[in-house]
Amino acid sequence: MQIRFLGHACFELSDGSDTVLIDPFLSGNPKAAIAADDAAATTILLTHGHGDHFGDTVSIAKRTGAPVVAIVEIADELEQEGVQVHDPNLGGTVRFDWGSVKLVPAWHTSTTPKGTVNTPAGLVVNFHDTIVYHLGDTCLFSDLQLVGKRAPIDIALMCIGGHYTMDSTDAVEAAQLVGASTVIPCHYNTFPAIEADAAAFKSDVESATRSNVVVLEPGETHST
């Protein structure tokens, strides 16, 4: 499996035939690795409705025909746009030929694109038996440890930028709670408010945990 970091909180999981695209904020993203028109997707997954995650969801879904998995209030609005959706709520799992995605809690805020206040999520993705946990825009909270107890996490995608999410110090504790084999930091250095030192985060996590930290520049790929 290949996981490509496309900038901010956007990742692409692929195996050569299936392509799962998470939080496709590309247009207007100063760190976007590709243009929205060049994004591939067989399925699109959303953590929540903020613009730096929802991004180009509608245009990519319409161009590719990929269904979108999003929490029910966001899915309802996407369906009105003519996009094919799956509409779980927290705790729900949606299954595909390539695996599954489960929505888990994330402590943050969210609004739908039309402005309805709703609940954000983290995503536990089983992609051909590799478990990838995108924590979403969460702060640190102790129930993060429950996710890894239910399914051992191979790769955790974790915000470290602070201000809108947990910072790189709290994320070290989150890495301990999640217990993933590999941690990939995200949601930092996109804007001045979320500057973070990923090299220091890597060193701190690798001192405190058994996790390996892989720092990806936008456009770089990690292969499992």
Contact residues for Ni ion, defined by CB under 5 A: 50, 137
User: What single DSSP character describes residue 211?
Assistant: P
102 binds, options Ni ion, Mn ion, none, Cβ within 5 to 8 A by partner type: none
Subset of 35-64 contacting Mn ion (CB under 5 A):
52
- Rounded to a whole number of angstroms, the minimum distance from the CB of residue 112 to Ni ion is 12
d(CA 119, CA 125): 19
Q: Which of residues 121-180 bind Mn ion (CB under 5 A)?
A: 137
Q: Are 133 and 101 in contact (CB under 8 A)?
A: no
Told to check if 23 binds Mn ion by CB under 5 A, we report no
Q: Which is nearer to Ni ion, 73 or 137 (CB)?
A: 137
To Ni ion, the closest distance from the beta carbon of 46 in angstroms equals 11
The three-state secondary structure class of 208 is helix
Residue whose Cβ sits closest to Ni ion = 50
Alpha helices in 71-167 (DSSP H): 72-80, 144-150
CB of 133 to Mn ion, least distance (A): 17
Of 63 and 163, the one with the shorter C-beta distance to Mn ion is: 163
The residue assigned the tokens 């996407």 is 78
Give CA–CA dist 176/189, Å, rounded. 23
CA dist 82 and 14 (Å) reads 25
Q: How far is the CB of 97 from Mn ion (least distance, A)?
A: 30
Residues lying near Mn ion in the complex (CB under 5 A) are found at 52, 137
